Amino acid sequence: MNWRYPLKINRLILLFVLSCILLAASIAKADWINLSGAQSAPNIAEIHIEDSHVRVVLEIYVNDIDTFIDLVPEEWLKKAGRQPPPMQKRMQRFSTETLQVLTDDQPPLIADLKLVEPRMRVDRPNPFAGTINPYTGQRVPGPPEDKRVLYAELIYPFTQKPQTITFLPPVDATGTPKAAIGFITYHKGVPVIDFRYLSEAARINLDWDDPWYSRFEKKALQRWQLSGIRTFLYIEPYEVRHETLVRVKDMAAWMDLGLHGADFIEVDEFEPLKKRVGEFLLKNSKVRIDGQSLPPILDRTSFVKYTMARTFFIDQPERLPLNTAMVGVIVTYLTREIPQNVTVDWDLFSDRIQKVPTNAVDPAGPFPSYVTPEDNLLTWTNFLKTYQMPTVAGVTVEDALARVQIPLGSIICIVLLVPVLWILVQRKRDSKRFGVIAGIGAVLIAGSILFLSFSADFHRSSPGSGSGN
């Protein structure tokens, strides 16, 4: 019997609202920023590929519960007047008709529902919400105003590590998605994709030796940082900086990392490894400026934490996963003026790294490119026609700003007025003396006002000059 729910959605939502009222959920923050707006989709799927299973974490928008009806708790359905089939049958249908996970073109894996409960939507900041995406011309969507979601955790187990996994969203008879789902995928903790929409079949090729190199087949489903190493040239009037951002695990192709384990950089290994990587890249920074090899200066070496949106320095030692740990190294060359020509002879390639993204940045802007083993010379040429070198020039200070006027007469009167007021307070019962002293006080007050127009000039001392008069 093919059992279906003509769901009484209003009664179900009412039960859901009552459950949400009882929930005190904290709102987590995330770093993702994406012009697709997929992190703000009504429904969110976080997919984690592990050695023996795929774990899927769902946030189901309250108005899309009907699409994911097989995950709704049995007691909710019964209170809504429905009699659901056994959970095994429900999960069978969910796994083959709603959210499908296929390994190596085999039949869909059958999911095991581990947790389902009402929650509030995780806050994933989207500063571009409401703006126009310059690539598509469409407005970047924001999250739903209603933050209630049905939270679910599912496990799709497999017996052997697959080479590929395909994810299929719920679609109707015409192939149109039944619900908007934003998804992100991790392979053994390594983010493989920025947030994107799961609107059709998405296949990922898995690299079990190094999950950093796991890739979705479709170009639109690839993260912004594909390469494990990137190099930059910054051209400025009095210095040239050669900066390199490299994944630590990729450095093993050229140097001995000297780590205790194969999965983490421990806290006591943090500083020594950072130092060795900095010295190695300093030695291999082959930069020529106007045909000369200038003395290099190791300006900075720092571990860098990578997210989908940005990278930032890690100042304090901490335990880092080797698969995603990155190091940034800055080598500086001092110059007398802006150079005419700068080259980098790049020779750090490996079996995995055959194309290194580059970027040469000067006062006119960035010039992205890449180097390969066949074309390994990064070249910057000065085409700045109207650029003016920054200089230090003297600034004439107006006389009014350089001169300070101090009313000495008023200051003297005010100083003398203080003891007079004290005497008045002490001898207020002696009417004769009180009148004389009060008269003196009145004269001093009048003097302090009158002498405001009689001032002495004092000149400010400017930096590098002697004292003023």
State the pLDDT at residue 437. Answer: 64
For the chain, the domains span: 9-221, 229-381, 399-459
211/186 Cα distance (integer angstroms): 9
- How confident is residue 222, by pLDDT bands cut at 50, 70 and 90? confident
Residue with tokens 């291999």: 284
Any bridge partners for residue 154, and if so which? 56, 113
Count of C-beta atoms within a 10 Å radius of residue 358: 18
Confidence tier at 171 by pLDDT (50, 70, 90): very high
Q: Would you place residue 3 in the very low, low, confident or very high pLDDT band (cuts 50, 70, 90)? A: very low
pLDDT for 129:
75
Which band of pLDDT confidence, cut at 50, 70 and 90, is reported for residue 30? Answer: very low
- For the ranges 181-195, 308-322, 431-445, the lowest mean pLDDT is seen at 431-445
- pLDDT at position 185: 96
Residue 61 — very low, low, confident or very high, per pLDDT cuts 50/70/90? very high
pLDDT grade for 382, boundaries at 50, 70 and 90: very high
Q: Residue 98 has what DSSP assignment? A: I
Is 43 a residue whose pLDDT tops 50?
A: yes
Name the phi and psi angles at 212, rounded to 5: -55, -30
pLDDT at 454: 58
Radius of gyration of the chain (CA): 36
Q: Answer yes or no: are the C-beta atoms of 95 and 74 closer than 8 Å.
A: no
The mean per-residue pLDDT over the stretch 318-346 comes to 95
Buried b vs exposed e over 199-237: b needs ≥16 C-beta within 10 Å? eeebbbebbeebbbbbbbeeeebebebebbbbbbbbbee
Q: What is the mean pLDDT of residues 357-366?
A: 92
pLDDT tens across 150-165, in order?
A: 999 999 999 999 999 9
Q: Which residue has the higher pLDDT, 343 or 29?
A: 343
- List pLDDT tens digits, range 99-149: 999 999 899 999 999 999 999 999 987 777 777 777 677 777 788 999 999
CA atoms within 13 A on the CB side of 177: 17
| pLDDT value for 14 | 42
Residue 272 has pLDDT above 70, yes or no: yes
What is the average pLDDT score of the chain? 84
* Total-model pTM: 0.72
* Higher per-residue confidence, 272 vs 222: 272
* Rounded CA separation 412/459 (Å): 21
Longest dimension (CA), the chain: 119
Cα distance between residue 244 and residue 229, in whole Å? 7
User: pLDDT at position 451, please?
Assistant: 59
Q: How far is CA 71 from CA 9, 91, 151, 407, in A?
A: 14, 8, 9, 84
Say which residue, 404 or 418, is predicted with more confidence: 418
Q: What is the DSSP letter of 292?
A: B
> Within the chain, how many helices (H) and strands (E) appear?
8, 25
73 — pLDDT class (breaks 50, 70, 90): very high
Which pLDDT band, with edges at 50, 70 and 90, does 457 fall under?
low
C-alpha span between 152 and 94 (Å, rounded): 13
* Residue 136, pLDDT score: 75
The per-residue pLDDT for 100 is 98
Q: Is 289 helix (H, G, I), strand (E, B) or coil?
A: strand
Name the residue with tokens 């006062």. Answer: 363
